[in-house]
Amino acid sequence: MLGIVSLTFWALMAIISIKYVAFVLCADNEGEGGVLALLSLVEHGMTEPRRLPLMVLLGVLGAALLYGDGVITPAISVLSAIEGLKSFNPGAASFVLPATLVILIGLFAIQYRGTGDVGRWFGPVMVVWFVAIGVLGLVNIVAVPAILAALNPLQAIRFGITSPATLFIVMGGVFLALTGGEALYADMGHVGRTAIRQAWFGLVLADALLFRTRGARACRSESDRQSVL
């Protein structure tokens, strides 16, 4: 558990906080961010024309990854959230797929109204959501303060060395925790880099990291049960 939490923690810090929020947001095309916005600058900034095809190819590859992320992430995020209902009511399994489709269709149906209107509707909801998951994570930390040892990057390194096969499986979950980083950068033209940095460092990062510790309490309970047996 310490190794997995440490791996997720440092991945968020390195890829999202440092790479995207601290550095990549500084690169823009007249205030617009994202691979497609930067691709339009390639031709003007190339001093060696013969390298242009390579740069365009890299830009097309980045755009393909962006489109792939845009197709996969919403479906996985909404589906995994709705599947959580099965934890409380196993009989709700038959409603997971229809409910997911209704939510996705509804979201894309109102997306045409623009970032401003959608943000005014969902902004307060997201604030409540992040505060809630932050509180849940804090409760787990109070119950099992030993989880704070995951802040040590050596825990992630030790986990990779001792359990490489498990690491290979876990990396899928770690990658899922990082999805949206490119979208965060691409949305810079809508809300601005200052608002993104304030939201990330002021609210989202802390609550997301706190929520990652929620499994510690369950692991301790399982360990106590095994000890009693």
Nearest to 150 by CA among 69, 210, 87, 223: 210
> Residue 147 and residue 6: Cα distance in Å, rounded?
9
pLDDT at 24: 84
pLDDT at 147: 86
List Cβ neighbours of 175 (8 Å cut-off, separation of 6 or more): none
138: phi then psi, degrees, rounded to nearest 5: -65, -40
Query: Looking at residue 227, what is its pLDDT?
Result: 42
Q: What is the pLDDT of residue 158?
A: 92
Is the alpha carbon torsion for 62, 65, 71, 72 positive or negative? negative
Give the separation between CA 217 and CA 215, rounded to whole angstroms: 6
Dihedral in degrees, nearest 10, Cα atoms 129, 130, 133, 136: -110
Q: At what angle do helices 2-11 and 164-178 cross, to 10 degrees?
A: 40
Sign of the CA dihedral with 175 first, then 119, 68, and 35 last: negative
Query: How does pLDDT run along the chain (229 residues), one tens digit per residue?
Result: 888 888 988 998 998 899 888 888 888 777 777 777 777 776 665 555 566 677 777 777 877 877 777 777 777 778 878 887 887 777 778 888 888 889 888 888 887 777 777 778 888 988 998 999 889 888 888 888 888 888 899 999 999 899 888 888 888 888 877 877 777 887 787 788 888 888 899 888 888 888 766 655 555 554 444 443 3
| pLDDT score of 91 | 79
**In the chain, domain spans:** 2-228
pLDDT value at position 60?
Answer: 79
Per-residue model confidence (pLDDT) at position 111: 78
Confidence (pLDDT) at 35: 75
